[in-house]
Amino acid sequence: MDVAGSNPACPTTFRSSAAEMTHSSKKKEFSFIDLFSGAGGFSLGFMQEGFRDLLAIEIDNDAAQTYKFNFPDTPLMNADIRTIHSLQIESEISETPDVILASPPCEPFTSANTARQKDPFDRFYTDPKGDLIFHAIRIIGDLSPKFFVIENVIPIVNGIGKELISNAFAKAGFEKICFNVITTENHGCPSERTRVFISNIRLKLPKQRTITTAEAIGDLPEPSYPNDFPNHFSLFFPKRVSDKIHRIKKGGAAVYFSGAVEEKKTWIKLDAEKVADTIMGKSRFIHPFKNRPLTAREHARLMSFPDTFVFTGKVDSVFNQVGEAVPPVISRQIAKVVKQKL
């Protein structure tokens, strides 16, 4: 595992020092639990805003290890949420959380999944991961937090999706549901990402200036081992990409494939003066100035993770953890809105 510190001279929020990474606010701490925590991007933003994490739940072993490495004081259940009863959660925490966060898997709903069910109803009830959002709603109903925020891709509310989710929340005791659509590049994240944040409050974030790819990763040195940046290691192109590398223009890609709705691309050559394309678990990028792949640290920078945040596991797992996270810079702004309501 590659473990190292960050560059304290980096000025932007997502290059903050270890001391700033969590609990930056010294005012009254509110609490939360994080379902489907992944590596911890959703949690990190709330911790940066002064919230206490009472518990995290994550089934993936590598993501759970990353979470524990970065948040060693937070209890974590490395288990399938379908097997967890709310009484087990209550036995792990000493208080009712003010907020419950959840980011259930998006694979049943995303247009990037070529095997996605055609019928929106089947995405919830035929896909083996489709009903996981209802387990999050079950726990939210049982624990009755003041607020909740569930993140997912926009297509989860397509067709009958919004009705199914609203009905499940109504049965859990929450009548008012807001489907907040947030486009991350409008709020300080240097990569494109539009997601729905389902909550019992409206989440209106202040617009931030655009942060370009060059601003986000331009100060990082060339990857070498060892170096002062965790997860900043050299990678090699697969042959199908290396043969095309010199012909790819800014914004172009070496590989195109069919998604559920439209053509998708990977091994994209980033444009330094624009925000990066959407960071996904299996997406890869070509450096805007160098004919080399972006490192995992550069991916993490484009998702607003501070350099002090260390990802553990094998290479593919690390890239997946980064791509599946909620950008901390977005999470923190959501936390600010929530805190104003508490």
pLDDT at 120: 93
Instruction: Name the amino acid, one letter, at 73.
Output: D
Q: Nearest 5 degrees, angle CA 89-CA 97-CA 333?
A: 125
CATH code of the domain containing 253 = 3.90.120.10
Provide the b/e sequence for 100-122 (b: ≥16 CB within 10 Å).
Answer: bbbbbbbbbbbebbeebbeebee
> How do 263-269 and 285-286 pair as beta strands?
parallel
Q: What is the pTM of this model?
A: 0.89
pLDDT at 225: 77
Same domain, 263 and 190: no
Same domain, 24 and 145: yes
Domain assignment present for residue 6? The answer is no
Tokens coding 5: 């510190």
pLDDT at 12: 45
d(CA 21, CA 44): 7
Determine the structural domain holding residue 111 and report its residue range. Answer: 13-210+327-341
| Residue 270, helix vs strand vs coil | coil
Instruction: Count structural domains, the chain.
Output: 2
**3-state class percentages of the chain: helix first, strand second, coil last, to nearest 5:** 35, 15, 50
Same domain, 96 and 223: no
pLDDT at 238: 77
pLDDT at 18: 42
pLDDT at 258: 55
Print pLDDT tens along the chain (342 aa).
Answer: 444 333 333 334 455 544 455 555 456 789 999 999 999 999 999 999 999 999 999 999 999 999 999 999 999 999 999 999 999 999 999 899 999 999 999 998 998 888 899 999 999 999 999 999 999 999 999 999 999 999 999 999 999 999 999 999 999 999 999 999 999 999 999 999 999 999 999 999 999 999 999 999 999 999 987 789 999 998 888 777 777 777 787 877 777 665 555 566 778 899 999 999 999 887 689 999 998 899 999 999 999 999 999 999 999 999 999 999 999 999 999 999 999 999
Domain assignment present for residue 3? The answer is no
Domain assignment present for residue 5? The answer is no
pLDDT at 256: 61
d(CA 5, CA 332): 22
Q: Is the peptide bond before 306 cis (omega within 30 degrees of 0)?
A: no
Domain assignment present for residue 1? The answer is no
Same domain, 150 and 222: no
Identified catalytic residue from 10, 106, 178, 189: 106
Same domain, 176 and 230: no
Same domain, 85 and 28: yes
Same domain, 331 and 314: no
pLDDT at 212: 98
Domain assignment present for residue 115? The answer is yes
Same domain, 99 and 227: no
In the residue annotation, 178 being an active-site residue is answered as no
Domain assignment present for residue 311? The answer is yes
Domain assignment present for residue 218? The answer is yes
Same domain, 132 and 35: yes
pLDDT at 226: 79
83: left (phi over 0), alpha (psi -120 to 50) or beta: alpha
CATH code of the domain containing 125 = 3.40.50.150
Same domain, 154 and 244: no
Same domain, 80 and 18: yes
- DSSP label of 276: B
Domain assignment present for residue 73? The answer is yes
Tokens coding 153: 């891709």
Same domain, 220 and 81: no
d(CA 339, CA 46): 9
pLDDT at 1: 45
